[in-house]
Chains A and B, each alone.
Chain A
Amino acid sequence: MEQEPILQVENLHTHFFTKSGVVKAVDGVSFDIKPGETLGIVGESGSGKSITAMSIMRLIKDPPGKIVDGRVLFKGENLLEKSKKEMRSIRGNQISMVFQDPMTSLNPVFTVEKQMVETIQTHRKVSKKEAIDRAVELLDLVGIPSARSRLKSYPHEFSGGMRQRVMIALALSCDPEVLIADEPTTALDVTIQAQILELLERLQKELGMAIVMITHDLGVVAEVCDRVMVMYAGKPVEFSEVTELFDHPKHPYTWGLMSSIPQIKNRQDRLEAISGLPPDLRDLPQGCSFAPRCKHAMDKCHEVDPAFREHIPAHHVRCLLYEEKEEVTT
């Protein structure tokens, strides 16, 4: 039988109410993730990947941000209806996040020990000594050599890769069931990225958590993800199992992404870039948001916003190329 998803995001809308207009940063995102699964969220900058993650964690600053619609079901319970206090106990405990920018979760003026002990004691009733032992165990787990002595170090005394390991250790302190990793390797060099990806894979096997891997790198997606959601302008445009996505991509935006990557085996004379730019999220074009950049756009694409549909079993696409004529509705 199919496993029940641990986290389900349904029709999530997060908007920012700014002086210059309403930024529809996340505008109808739906996906689910099963225990032990790695789900990729891939898309270009500003497509709403981080805001999706921060909405799940209820970390959107209000004002200017507001989750205006949707549900985030964690084990069947809607996180958007939880009190601030309930969220604090869920965050970092059952759902944890590794941020795009390491310095947003590590405080530069405190030692790693202080920060880890504090996080552990927020969620667990343990003595300081027990918390320190747990911190050592965690640093060991993520492969930081001579963990006990490194506890006394400040974040800046670690290399980029080691800092990312510390962040992962911090995120894992309370055995989360879902780990949201927002571009965890983007700032790292390839040899260190290879280590961190290997680490995450090992940790997932050992601890069995579900990972939401946010990335802009299709290489990382291909390597670690089971299923992938491609986002564009705040909306999911394609969602399927990873090999299906690479073997049979359906959305013109996904096609564009794939042909934009420089290939070493087969050096292109010129990259086939997607022309134009992502739309202004305060003033989305009518119809399909990708239409102004889409090589396959038809007249109706500028009028009708395609629905996100399972056109092929287990493969969702948001594109009018796959809609039957009579099915076209808004």
Chain B
Amino acid sequence: MSNLLEVKNLKKHFPIKKGAIFPKQVGAVKAVDGVSFHVRKGETLGLVGESGCGKSTTGRAILNLIQPSEGEVIYKGEDISHYKGEKLRKLRQDIQIIFQDPYASLNPRMTVEQIIAEPMRAFGTPKKEREEKIDYLLDVVGLSSYHKHRYPHEFSGGQRQRIGIARALTLDPELIICDEPVSALDVSIQAQVINLMEDLQKEFDLTFIFIAHDLSVVHHISDRVAVMYLGEIVEVGEVEELYANPKHPYTQALLSAIPEADPHLKRDRMVLEGDLPSPSNPPAGCKFHTRCPFAEEICRTEHPELKDVSTGDHQAACHLVKEVVGSNG
């Protein structure tokens, strides 16, 4: 399978400015700090990590919704990171994004019908086609055509998320960056939407970057998974291998924190202490060392790079994990 998208050393640093009249840059929030990965055509790459780890910023920087500070975003062989104007507009038909918080992007004065029609209107889809598509998409995301004339505030949190998904599907995109698309959905509808996304993926050869915090959902839908922490990828690999054999302590903690639907289970949970450090002042060395139960001296001083950690497609960035040579990943 060829790479549809390749991200190379992507960085997004948001300047922190002080002073009202002559603002001066006093620092930077390193939201994305040197991220590299590839996405093969037709696959789903899961991107997981705690809030603020930079997964959404990565998604937005790919689409140039925010201008990357550094790095390349190669889509179908072309660096799109500096696209502007008409080229960017065209690109945004190809690459769509489903947002995390649909309420913020749903205009409270527009009906559901108007909200879903909006992107099609912008790209000149004829009225009749628009109307058919609205009915189809409402059905597809688990709403009914009787919802068309209602306003966002009349829906519960989960129902609103579905409206956002319907809107993203309107322009038949090739790559969809899904930023927490099902996390607000209740499980029965979540299962339908996941099934639907998998169906649509097969049928239309769609490629997904699936950003989520629900590790069970990511496990189910992804072919490969990248785990992010403080703007970096700490582990990436083929999904079954990564879940069965997590190498990075952060991945291990994430996996052990999942609440499982089994009241008999009594587990030794690895509860991480503390909060995510500030991305404007990340810890030196391994950025995870302040919360890592295994940290040693070298972790406080030297930054670990991603290295092959099994003979499969599996890399991790941890000093304490042995490098495996002869990998084909």
Contact = CB atoms under 8 A, between A and B. Distances in A.
Interface of A: 18, 20, 43-47, 50, 100, 159-162, 186, 188-195, 197-198, 216-223, 242-243, 246, 256-258, 260-264, 267-268, 270-275, 277, 280
A271 B195 contact: yes
Between B51, B187, B188, B255, the greatest number of chain A beta carbons within 10 A of the residue's beta carbon is seen for B188
B39 interface: no
Contacts, number: 145
Contact of A262 (B154, B220, B255): B220
Between B187, B216, B217, B240, the greatest number of chain A beta carbons within 10 A of the residue's beta carbon is seen for B187
A263 B194 CA distance: 13
Given A191-B253, A270-B198, A271-B195, A44 B189 contact: yes
The 8 closest A-B pairs by CB, nearest first: A45-B158, A219-B259, A44-B186, A262-B220, A273-B191, A260-B191, A271-B191, A274-B188
Interface stretch (B118-126, B267-275, B315-323): B267-275
Nearest to A275: B192
Contacts of B216: 261-264
Contact of B188 (A161, A194, A273): A273
B282 interface: no
8 contacts: A44-B158, A44-B189, A159-B275, A186-B184, A216-B158, A216-B186, A243-B264, A271-B220
Nearest to B243: A264
B157 interface: yes
Contacts of B184: 45, 186
B50 interface: yes
Contacts of A162: 275
A194 B261 contact: no
Contacts of A223: 259-260, 263
Interface residues of B, number: 54
B257 interface: yes
Given A222-B261, A222-B263, A192 B50 contact: yes
Contact of A191 (B143, B195, B198, B257): B257
A262 B258 contact: no
Contact of A270 (B195, B215, B258, B264): B195
Given A191-B253, A277-B144, A18 B154 contact: yes
Contacts of B142: 277
Interface string B269-287: 1011001100000000000
B187 A194 contact: no
B9 interface: no
Contacts of B189: 44-45, 273, 277
Contact of A243 (B159, B219, B263): B263
A303 B295 CA distance: 64
B254 interface: yes
Contact of B261 (A186, A197, A221): A221
Given A45-B156, A280-B146, A242 B263 contact: yes
Nearest to B213: A189
B262 interface: yes
B190 interface: yes
Contacts of B264: 243, 246
B259 A220 contact: yes
Contacts of A267: 219-220, 240
A105 to B, nearest CB: 16
B182 to A, nearest CB: 10
B185 interface: yes
